[in-house]
Structure 1
Amino acid sequence: MKTPYVILVIFILLSAKQTIAQKSTADSVRSTAPQPFVYRLDVKNSKLFWKAKKINGGHNGYVLFRSGEIKTLSPGKYESGDFNIHMNSIVAVDKLLPKENREVEGVVKANNFFAVALYPMARMRVHTIVPTGKLNQYKVTG
């Protein structure tokens, strides 16, 4: 009997670049609402850390992003976000031997878990973003 895992997203390491969402000139003339800021994820320097728990232990590792952004109406007050994740990039790091980590990766990529062959990309829509107190690190739920 296989023990079910509970996947917990711990936090996202963000190295964001701020850009301003563009609106047409006509929209900006008609609307007095503030234009949103868009923070784009630096995918080359970002990882999604994960932790899986079971009754007698667990595993942890990271997965890489394809893209991501966070929108806010004022700097520091996050409104929403959207991230695309490369599921084939799942890496386990909790075992001492690389072979054991590859076995864990095989289990979570298999069809009875994430079915990575069928679903190579995952999308995460962000509902809450809370700073962890560490530079460029946030706890994100979605």
Structure 2
Amino acid sequence: MKKLFILTLFLSFSAFSQEKMGLSLKESTLFWKGNYAVGSNGHEGTLQFLSGMLTQSANGKITGGSFVIDMNSIKNTDEEDEKGRKNIEGHLKSNDFFDVKKFPTATFTIVKMEPTTLPNKYAVTGDLLMKGISNRIVFTALINQNKEAISVKADHTLIRTLWGITYKSQGAFDFGNLKNDLISNAVPIKMELLFRKK
């Protein structure tokens, strides 16, 4: 009975000592870039978040977190012509790519965070659920924090076919005879995030 009481007290203290830092939606952005398989031309743009938070222990160690990405917010930023820009955004929202009517959000859940040998750099492991498919990804993030805020900067390259996005994708036998309209499977993304104490 005494051991059960001590365990309950420990778990209660652990839960109480976890502090939540909320994602500042206006100050956080996800940047994306899509390239053709041949040449350097492509398109780039942004995505916005619907919500997000990090949890940290009493000593400031980040223990977890989760994010919800608004797939309807996808924007193209390189096309100057408004009609062309809207066509690009509409195509990305269609079932050729992200099928936002069926899958309006994507989520990322942190599984593990470990410090690297470089100052303020961490190896982040998490699960990205997009278009109903979950894949585990690992990337390095630069994290700076104080008592009031946490800033995160990270880069990663997603392989879009892992989430069933195969429109004009490079097949295993396309490299010897690449077509000009093939789109690279690799999609570089960059995240700039700011969290504030709730």
TM-score bin, normalised by smaller chain: 0.5 to 0.7
Of residues 27, 48, 56, the one that matches 1:72 is 56
Residue number in structure 2 paired with 1:43: 25
Distance 1:27 1:60, change over 3 A: farther
Which runs of no fewer than 5 residues in structure 2 stay unpaired? 1-5, 112-123, 125-139, 145-149, 159-198
Of residues 106, 109, 112, the one that matches 2:96 is 112
SS in 2 for 1:136: strand
Quote how far apart the aligned CAs of 1:72 are.
2.6
- Once the two structures are superposed, the pairs formed by residues 116-127 of structure 1 within 5 Å of their partners are 116-126=100-110
CA distance in 1, matches of 2:89, 2:7: 48
Residue number in structure 2 paired with 1:29: 9
Provide the aligned length of Structure 1 versus Structure 2: 115
Runs of 4+ in 1 over 4 A off after TM superposition: 31-34
CA distance in 1, matches of 2:83, 2:32: 19
CA distance in 1, matches of 2:66, 2:155: 11
RMSD over aligned Cα atoms: 3.0
Which deviates more, 88-97 or 46-55? 46-55
Q: What letter is aligned with 1:37?
A: E
Query: Are residues 1:130 and 2:141 paired?
Result: yes
Residue number in structure 2 paired with 1:84: 68
TM-score scaled to structure 1, two decimals?
0.65
Q: Give yes or no for contact 1:40–1:69 (8 Å, CA) kept in 2.
A: yes
Residue number in structure 1 paired with 2:154: 139
Which runs of no fewer than 5 residues in structure 1 stay unpaired? 1-25
State the identity %. Answer: 28
Once the two structures are superposed, residues 82-114 of structure 1 have per-residue CA deviations (whole angstroms, 9 ceiling, x without a partner) of 111111111010122222221211111011210
Distance 1:126 1:60, change over 3 A: farther
TM-score scaled to structure 2, two decimals?
0.48
Quote how far apart the aligned CAs of 1:115 are.
0.3
Which deviates more, 110-119 or 47-56? 47-56
Q: What letter is aligned with 1:121?
A: T
